[in-house]
Chain A
Amino acid sequence: MKTYPGSESSAAPADAPALLPARRLARAPSIRRKLVLVMLATTLTALLVAIAAMIYYDLRVYQRALLQDVETLADVMGQANVAALAFDDPIAARQNLALLAAKPNIISGAVYQARGTLFATYNRRGTSEAFPKLPEFEGARIATREVIVFKRVIGGKEILGTIYLKGEYALGEHLASYLAITGVVLLMALLVALMMSAWLQATITRPILQMRDLARDVMEKRDFSLRATNTTDDEIGYLAEAFNGMLAEIGERASDLERSNESLEGQVQERKAAEANLRRAEEELKRLNAELEERVAQRTEQLAAANKELESFSYSVSHDLRAPVRAVAGFSRLLAEQHEAQLDPEAKRKLGIIRSEATRMGALIDDLLAFSRLGRQALQFTTVDMGELARMNFETLTAADDVRAPELRLGTLPPGRGDRSLLAQVWINLLSNAIKFSSKKERPTVEVGAISDPKEHIYFVRDNGAGFDPRYGAKLFGVFQRLHGPEEFPGTGVGLALVQRIITRHGGRVWAEGALGEGATFYFTLPRSESDGAV
């Protein structure tokens, strides 16, 4: 497809300058008027030049003809008056002159004698002209409105006299009539020119005006499907074709642009929709967050209430549950002591069972309370000398006479960060376990040591005691979970659970390794950095 210059730029600017050419078109003199003016000017100029030339030529011809005419007349008059002059007959001369009446343009005439005296005169009817006293030189001359001719009358070889003729030189009248004719001709010419312009409009201006209207319609309606209909073979036809081509091109581009605009708009819409979705999601998130916060606050409140309840519950347990157990234990003891005589050995044995079970119950209650208290107790972090703490508690635990103290192998322990009393509880529980479970060995040994890595200290307590089946290793740290019967090794099953709880609250971990009959190793970790240790 051909690209017409400016077709791109005319498609691009959309609204602002659209009406400008049309308006300018309306203000400027239209082609039609220009054509009419040109035609009229051309016609007028041609006519005026032609008429002026004609008038000039015609006036010259008229002047010469007039002079010739009057001279010829003077010649004729001279011939006619030869006799009259020769015979000195003024009457005859007068009669001859009277013939001039047949020529109305001759105003006056006269015959002079050779001497120069006036011989006979003629005046046109109604006029009384004065005659020159003496005849002038032969010839014709033009005065302002008159033609004056002097002619010698020759008879033989002798000048007999002079003929004088004065004729009308009517140049003004002549001119006036010419001008009148010119005016009529001009008027007619103008009429013809106007008719011509009307015809021209039909053949030239109208297609152009149609193009103009089409262009204006296209501009105003933005309708690029309009087409010029006049497809003649001349330049205007070519212009119309080119214009149609241009419109097709522009229309195509405009629809392209529209399509791309539409797709762009679609994208914008999609984007807006996505943004709206995002906003909705954000609001939803905010709402959920608020809800969550509210729920957390609620739960915290519930938790605080539950904690409070638990506190009062365990308080009651510690006080009210102990009293009956203590009574059972105490009175069975009193019964055994104070009424010994009435009791046979079997009764004593059974009373002993009651008493020891009541005592165990008391221990269970105590451990359970300690375990529950641990969850509520606030931790007081200090740097604790773990080696010293372990050694001290080992000595305390083995101080009693009835305890068979194992050999203690105490390694170098790094200081730990934590609550001293709770960490002491950890050592007590782990060491007492080690002492307890190794007590039946021939050479009971308890090893305490530590391994450090950049993140944490790993402390361990190893014994060469009863050990445990690794399959049940996970159960070790559960509350009331025991891998040995109370007859084999006494205990409530709370100790390791307590250890785990304390270490967890310090941000550490606990685990155990061991095999049945080959001893056990209990590990616990404490974080190295202070901030990691805080719970």
Chain B
Amino acid sequence: MEQFEQVEILLVEDSALDAELTMTALAGSRVANRVVWVKDGEEALDYLFRRGSHAGRSDIAPRLVLLDLKMPKVGGIEVLKEIKSDARLKRIPVVVMTSSDEECDVAKSYELGANSYVVKPVDFDALAEVTRQAGFYWLAINRGIAV
């Protein structure tokens, strides 16, 4: 796991292939240089709360979380709930990026405070475009606040 001084995007994705595609798309779009990929919800929480294998992490919190929903162990909904119920972390914008187009998932995500909900397209060009636009919006257009 590479460590960056300023992590711009935390990618929470259980599928390595999806993660690679997403990161390739992000790299191609050049909106974010530093992306950290964690492979499930448990690791995501460890990373965000600096515990477990990420206990000694020095860098500050990411500026954007790209969150998959369906993951083993701790699911995306659980992660979202933890983030949004933490006084400090809840300022980080969370974009739910998932294959699920189910109404219940969309509703639940917004209910828990997701900042955006994006259905991952099957087509790579479309996926790259969606990822690029989401990253560009949240990192470049949107005025965030340091956490």
Contact = CB atoms under 8 A, between A and B. Distances in A.
Contacts of A373: 102-103
Interface in B120-135: 120-125, 127
Among A320, A322, A355, A373, the one with the most B-chain Cβ atoms within 10 Å of its Cβ is A322
Interface string A358-376: 1101110110010001000
Given A318-B101, A322-B99, A362 B121 contact: yes
A326 B122 contact: yes
B120 A322 contact: yes
A327 B120 CA distance: 12
B11 to A, nearest CB: 15
A362 B125 CA distance: 13
A322 B122 CA distance: 7
B75 to A, nearest CB: 11
Among B15, B98, B100, B123, the one with the most A-chain Cβ atoms within 10 Å of its Cβ is B123
A333 interface: yes
Contacts of B101: 318, 366, 369
Contacts of B70: 319-320
B15 A323 contact: yes
B18 interface: yes
Contact of A358 (B17, B24, B98, B122): B122
A365 B70 CA distance: 18
Nearest to B102: A315
B100 A362 contact: no
Interface in A51-95: none
A330 interface: yes
Nearest to A325: B122
> At the interface, is chain B mostly helix, strand, loop or mixed?
loop
B21 interface: yes
A331 interface: yes
B119 to A, nearest CB: 9
Size class of the contact patch on chain B:
20 to 34
Contact of B122 (A314, A361, A369): A361
Nearest to A321: B99
Nearest to A328: B122
B127 A326 contact: yes
Contacts of B21: 326-327, 330-331, 334
Among A322, A330, A331, the one with the most B-chain Cβ atoms within 10 Å of its Cβ is A330
Among A314, A315, A326, the one with the most B-chain Cβ atoms within 10 Å of its Cβ is A326
A422 to B, nearest CB: 13
A329 interface: yes
A359 B127 CA distance: 11
A329 B124 CA distance: 6
Size class of the contact patch on chain A:
20 to 34
A330 B124 contact: yes
Interface in B23-77: 24, 69-70
A334 B125 CA distance: 10
A366 B102 CA distance: 11
A372 to B, nearest CB: 11
A368 to B, nearest CB: 11
A359 B122 CA distance: 6
Contacts of A362: 121-123
Nearest to B17: A327
Nearest to A369: B101
A366 B122 CA distance: 10
A329 B102 contact: no
Contacts of A377: 103
A315 B104 CA distance: 10
Contacts of B100: 315, 318-319
Contacts of A359: 122-123
Contact of B18 (A314, A327, A333): A327
A41 to B, nearest CB: 125
A333 B122 contact: no
Contacts of B17: 323, 326-327, 330-331
Nearest to A370: B101
A366 B120 CA distance: 11
B103 A363 contact: no
Interface in B86-119: 98-103
Nearest to B15: A323
A322 B70 CA distance: 12
Nearest to A333: B124
A358 B17 CA distance: 15
Nearest to A324: B17
A294 B15 CA distance: 47
Contacts of A333: 124-125
A323 B103 contact: no
Contacts of A314: 102
Contacts of B102: 314-315, 318, 373
Interface of A: 314-315, 318-320, 322-323, 325-327, 329-331, 333-334, 355, 358-359, 361-363, 365-366, 369, 373, 377
Lowest 7 CB-CB distances: which A-B pairs, in order? A362-B122, A330-B124, A322-B99, A333-B124, A327-B17, A330-B21, A359-B123
23 contacts: A315-B100, A315-B102, A319-B69, A319-B98, A323-B15, A323-B17, A323-B99, A325-B122, A326-B18, A326-B124, A326-B127, A327-B21, A329-B123, A330-B124, A331-B17, A334-B21, A334-B124, A355-B123, A361-B122, A362-B121, A362-B122, A366-B101, A377-B103
Given A326-B18, A326-B120, A334-B124, 12 more contacts: A318-B101, A319-B100, A326-B17, A326-B21, A326-B123, A329-B123, A330-B21, A330-B24, A334-B21, A359-B123, A362-B121, A369-B101
